[in-house]
Structure 1
Amino acid sequence: MHRLFGFLVAALSALGVAAPAAVEARPVPLLWQVETADGRTHALLGSIHVMRAEDYPLAPAVEEAFARAGHVVFELDPTEATSPTTALRLATAAQAPAGEDLASLLGSDYASFERVAAAQGVPAAALRGMRPWFASLTLALSAASRAGLESSRGVDMVLMQRAREAGKRTSGLERADDQIRALSGAPLREQLAGLRRVVAEPARLHEDVLRLHALWRAGDADGLVAAVAEELAEQPETYRRINVERNRAWLPRVEALLRGDDDVLIVVGALHLVGDDGLVAALRERGWSVTRVVEAEK
């Protein structure tokens, strides 16, 4: 989430099938280096949670940061991120309260929702008893898959596997319950605003997912901030919960890691690093030396 979502979710929706990607240059990573007073070098990497096979290999600067790191940190500890228990807790949080379903919440828009779900190959009946945020997430991930973008190829999932294989220490910045609360706790009116946008503007959805993917590939931090601001314009509380509050909660943990004995690579959704609300700006405000690494690779 997803987690850009700042979670990819609210900003990541698509309809239709994208044409196969042409062979492209390697993605320009959203990668920052943190230099400490004792000479240690840490790295912050902005990930995208759904990718294509053509997005690999990663840039040399990312490979160097991964090789150097003794400790690789993700939003969630890899064990928890891949646990069936986590999936069960997510499914439980997605259930609508008794007496409430999407048909009653959407009213006359429910028929359009059924058509959009069918176009994604998702049975609308299976989502009827779910909260609007979960319906949006399900449609988004299904649509991304139809566009050739898969969560199994996301930067975080790939680096989790590689860290396990290399025997590197791994951990997470938060627990799964924290992440689930960030999504499920958004105001109902904002959840519905996001879902109604999906229903009302299906033609834009395909463009949105490809635009976000292209911005990430280009390493365009400002473009990502602008795109997500547009997507979440009607959901300010959702944005606050999934991005601002979580970044603030993570900051003490990030600083503790930077003061530790290991060289650290921190891999989080790109939205958590960029812009005025991102961790990069917060660390600079607190006196850390944080520089973008990849300018020469553009």
Structure 2
Amino acid sequence: MTAAPRLFALALATLLAACAPEPEPANPALWRVDGARGERGYLFGTIHSLDRPALWRSGKVDAALRASDRIVVEVAGLADQAALQKTFAAMSKSPGLPPVSARIDPVLRSRLAALMSKVGAREASFAGVETWAVALSLARASQGRDDAGNGIDRAVLAAAEGRPVVELEGAAAQLGLFDALPEAEQRDLLNAVLRDEGAIDYESADLAKAWRQGDMALIERETGKGLLADPELRAALFTARNETWSGRLATMLGKRETPFVAVGAAHMAGPEGLPALLAARGYKVTRVQ
């Protein structure tokens, strides 16, 4: 590379860095889990998307990462968008479905039309697409941008540094949770998205603030809103998953593995959260940050 292109590349990099949003300080919640026979693990609440980067690597988090022998996440292949899209496409189609407008609360049909217009889609584009997949697609498109690059899940994966990464679910299993919902619940999901664009992620600005501050009381209140306020959806998408995960984590701890468990902070909140469920299994769970 000659001097002129080098200088141009340097100037461009400097400009891009100057335009990039400044990272925000963060103090997210972290717990240590101890068993009676010396078992140990860590629970770290993440947030899946943020509108700007976060300074989440505190001394306590780094110490927990160093002490762990594996990283445990919901889905490991977050960077492989092509694979995720392929999985989504394979699971989301069924022939003979009625039009989307016939699958929602009639009072929301104007909202559907407005949202379709906003994201540049047509109802015909969703012919044969299952209701849960319509809900996820519209929720993501309505956000207008993808802030997942600032999400802490990806950052934790990058911090694995050669340690094994264990999936609690994986993309197919996670999408399968939606796919397995009865049609009535899928329609509740779509109605929730239409009433509150982005509700599918239950990650409001208030939740992002609460995550940065490690305010688990606020996170618990926020995760009782939107689609998780629906009892059936809450049971399928929240409480049942937490029960399953706590069992898997107890198995890891019983094998004397030392997991650093990084999942959405909502899954750490309240009496149905992972810290409470592991405490109910006899572990000592201590909030360390």
TM-score computed with the length of structure 1 as normaliser? 0.77
Q: 1:114 to 1:288 in 2, by over 3 A?
A: same
* Structure 1: tracts of 5 or more residues without a match: 1-19
How many Å separate the matches in 2 of 1:144 and 1:293? 34
- Structure 2 equivalent of residue 64 of structure 1: 63
**1:255 pairs with 2:250:** yes
Whether the aligned pair in 2 keeps the contact of 1:190 and 1:238 (CA below 8 Å) is: yes
Pair member with larger Rg: 2
- Structure 2 equivalent of residue 140 of structure 1: 139
How many Å separate the matches in 2 of 1:202 and 1:80? 23
Q: 1:30 to 1:121 in 2, by over 3 A?
A: farther
> 1:99-178 to 2 correspondence within 5 Å?
99-106=97-104, 109-122=108-121, 124-144=123-143, 146=145, 150-163=147-160, 166-178=161-173
- Structure 1 equivalent of residue 85 of structure 2: 87
Q: CA deviation at 1:128?
A: 4.8
How many Å separate the matches in 1 of 2:98 and 2:209? 38
* Alignment-mate amino acid for residue 65 of structure 1: A
Q: 1:127 to 1:221 in 2, by over 3 A?
A: farther
> 1:227-266 to 2 correspondence within 5 Å?
227-232=222-227, 235-266=230-261
Q: CA deviation at 1:141?
A: 2.5
- Structure 2 equivalent of residue 51 of structure 1: 50
Q: 1:220 to 1:127 in 2, by over 3 A?
A: farther
- Structure 2 equivalent of residue 181 of structure 1: 176
Identity in percent = 25
Which of 271, 274, 286 is 1:276 aligned to? 271
Q: CA deviation at 1:97?
A: 4.0
> 1:211-230 to 2 correspondence within 5 Å?
211-230=206-225
Whether the aligned pair in 1 keeps the contact of 2:41 and 2:258 (CA below 8 Å) is: yes
Q: 1:253 to 1:203 in 2, by over 3 A?
A: closer
Q: CA deviation at 1:88?
A: 2.2
Q: CA deviation at 1:62?
A: 2.0
Q: 1:268 to 1:234 in 2, by over 3 A?
A: closer
- Structure 2 equivalent of residue 98 of structure 1: 96
How many Å separate the matches in 2 of 1:159 and 1:201? 29
* Alignment-mate amino acid for residue 90 of structure 1: F
Secondary structure of the corresponding residue to residue 87 of structure 1:
helix
* Alignment-mate amino acid for residue 158 of structure 1: A
Q: CA deviation at 1:250?
A: 2.0
- Structure 2 equivalent of residue 10 of structure 1: none
Whether the aligned pair in 1 keeps the contact of 2:40 and 2:256 (CA below 8 Å) is: no
Q: CA deviation at 1:136?
A: 2.5
Q: 1:129 to 1:200 in 2, by over 3 A?
A: same
* Structure 2: tracts of 5 or more residues without a match: 1-18
Would you say how many aligned residue pairs link Structure 1 and Structure 2? 269
**1:267 pairs with 2:265:** no
> 1:188-199 to 2 correspondence within 5 Å?
188-199=183-194
How many Å separate the matches in 2 of 1:247 and 1:175? 15
Q: Which moved more, 1:125-134 or 1:208-217?
A: 125-134
Whether the aligned pair in 2 keeps the contact of 1:68 and 1:263 (CA below 8 Å) is: yes
Secondary structure of the corresponding residue to residue 53 of structure 1:
coil
Superimposed CA distance per residue, residues 262-291 of structure 1 (whole angstroms, 9 cap, x where no aligned partner)? 432011122222211111111101110101
How many Å separate the matches in 2 of 1:40 and 1:196? 44
**RMSD of aligned alpha carbons:** 3.2
Greater relative contact order (Cα < 8 A, sep 6+): 1
Q: CA deviation at 1:196?
A: 2.5
How many Å separate the matches in 2 of 1:26 and 1:138? 31
TM-score computed with the length of structure 2 as normaliser? 0.79
Superimposed CA distance per residue, residues 137-183 of structure 1 (whole angstroms, 9 cap, x where no aligned partner)? 2233234453xx612222112221332xx211111123433322211
